[in-house]
Amino acid sequence: MSSPLRALGRVLVYAILTFILLPVQVIAVKANLRLATTLPVFYHRLCARILGFSIRTHGRAETDGPSLYVCNHISYADIPILGALLPASFVAKSEVATWPFFGTLARLQRSVFIDRHGRRATEHRDEMVRRLETGANLILFAEGTSSNGNVVLPFKSALFSVAEIRPSERPLPVRPVSIAYTRLDGMPIGRAMRPLFAWYGDAPLLTHCWSAVGLGRITVDVVFHEPVTIEQFGSRKKLADHCFEVVSEGVSAANSGRLELLAGPNGQARPAERSETPRRAAARPGSEGVAGGTPLAAAPARTVGSEEVAPDKALSQSGSPAG
C-alpha cells in the first residue's frame, strides 16, 4: 500500500522546501518580524500538499488572537495540518525541543515547551501566559499524548490552567478542535487502517513516518467547535470535560462519515445533547457514531487549492517552518 518511491519523492521535495525557508524564518524570529507568525502558515500549507494531505474544515476558525485552541492528538502530521490553518504556536512536551531537526523546526515556530511534572512547570506555564497576553494564539494537545485515532483520550485539566487569565480584561477564548484522518484515495478509513496514520505508543517515529508519506492521498477533517471560556464552567476541570466531550463527538462524527449531521449557530460546531455519560460513550470500543446519537454541527466544506475550507470563512494564507 505504501510506495517507497512516492515516499522518497515527497521527502525530497519537503526537505528542499524546508531548507529554502529555514534561513528566512531564522531571520524573522531573531528580528521579531510579523513574518515569523505568517510564514509558518504558508510553509505548512505547502508541506500538507507535498505530503499528500487534503484538508477539509468544518465550522469557523477564528484566528484573531489571543486564543487557546484545544485539540486531540493523533500523529506528527497534526502539526502541518493545524499549522496550515492557524497562525499559532504549539504547546509541546519539553523533550521535543531536543529532537534532531524537528526540535529546530518547533523552536522556529516559537513553540512553548512544557514540563508538567518538573521543577520548571510553573515557569513554563508563565511562558504560556506571557505569550497569550501579548495576543498570540496557542495550540494545545490536551490529551498530553497521542492516541490511535479511533477514540479521544481524557483531557488533562492541569493543562487548562492558562484559561484562567484575562487578556485585556476579557476572558480567554478556548476553541475546541477535532482532527480525524478519514479517507485514503477517496475511500473511507476503517478502525483497522487508522494505525497507518496514528503515531502512538512505542511505534518508531522514522519508520512510521516513512510508511505514512508513501501512502496515497489522505483526507483529513478538521472541525472547529464553538468557543467557550472558563467563566462559563467555573473551573478548569469542568472546562476540560466540556472540551473533551465536544472534541470526542467531532472525531466520532468524522470517523463514521456523519459530518453532514453537524449543525450549529454561526457555522460553528456545537456539543450534542447526550443520553449517556460522554466519557464512557467516547471511550467505548467500537463507538464511531456521534456520542449519544445526537448530531453535532458544521458547515459544508469547499475547496481552496488542494484543501477544503468552510464557506462561511475562507482562512487566511501566509507562512514559516515549524515543528
Residue 320 lies in a domain: no
Give yes or no for a contact between 55 and 307, defined as CB atoms under 8 angstroms apart. yes
Nearest to residue 244, comparing CAs of 118, 101, 95, 72?
A: 72
Residue with cell 453537524: 262
Residues spanned by the domain of 279: 4-309
Residues contacting 6, CB < 8 A, separation 6+: 213, 214, 215, 216
C-alpha cell at 76: 506528527
Per-residue pLDDT tens digits for 248-280: 999 999 999 988 776 555 545 554 333 333 343
Average pLDDT, the chain: 82
CA distance 180 to 198: 10
Residue 169 lies in a domain: yes
Per-residue pLDDT tens digits for 285-308: 333 333 333 333 334 453 333 445
pLDDT for 178: 97
Q: Give one word for 104, left, alpha or beta, with left for phi > 0 and alpha for psi -120 to 50.
A: alpha
Indicate the number of domains in the chain.
1
Give the other-Cβ count within 10 Å of 6's Cβ. 14
CA distance 21 to 273: 46
Residues contacting 254, CB < 8 A, separation 6+: 178, 180, 182, 221, 223
Per-residue pLDDT for 209 more than 60? yes
Residue 270 lies in a domain: yes
What's the pTM? 0.80
CA distance 198 to 288: 16
Quickly state the pLDDT bin for 314 (edges 50, 70, 90).
very low
pLDDT for 195: 86
Residue 71 lies in a domain: yes
- Choose the weakest-confidence range: 33-37, 196-200, 306-310: 306-310
Residue 323 lies in a domain: no
Going by the DSSP 8-state scheme, the letter that residue 228 receives in this structure is: B
pLDDT for 240: 96
Per-residue pLDDT for 117 more than 70? no
pLDDT for 279: 41
CATH number for the domain including 229? 3.40.1130
Residues contacting 135, CB < 8 A, separation 6+: 65, 66, 167
Residue 10 lies in a domain: yes
Nearest to residue 304, comparing CAs of 316, 295, 289?
A: 316
Nearest to residue 67, comparing CAs of 43, 51, 38, 87?
A: 87
pLDDT for 206: 87
pLDDT for 305: 37
Distances in whole angstroms, Cα of residue 24 to Cα of each of 41, 43, 89, 294 = 14, 11, 17, 48
CA distance 79 to 89: 10
In this structure, the chain runs to a length of: 323
Residues contacting 179, CB < 8 A, separation 6+: 71, 72, 74, 78, 81, 82, 220, 221, 222, 223, 251
Per-residue pLDDT for 138 more than 90? yes
Q: Which amino acid, 113?
A: F
Give yes or no for a contact between 90 and 321, defined as CB atoms under 8 angstroms apart. no
| Bigger pLDDT: 91 vs 265 | 91
Output the CA torsion sign for 194, 17, 107, 227: negative
Residue 318 lies in a domain: no
- Choose the weakest-confidence range: 61-65, 110-114, 145-149, 209-213: 61-65
The stretch 42-48 carries a mean pLDDT of: 97
Give the other-Cβ count within 10 Å of 96's Cβ. 17
Helices 4-30 and 35-50 sit at what angle, rounded to 10 degrees? Answer: 180
In the chain the beta strands, taken as DSSP E runs, fall at: 53-58, 67-71, 89-93, 112-114, 137-141, 174-184, 187-188, 218-224, 302-304, 307-309
Quickly state the pLDDT bin for 19 (edges 50, 70, 90).
very high
Residue 319 lies in a domain: no
Residue with cell 506528527: 76
Per-residue pLDDT for 70 more than 60? yes
Nearest to residue 323, comparing CAs of 168, 131, 118, 98?
A: 98
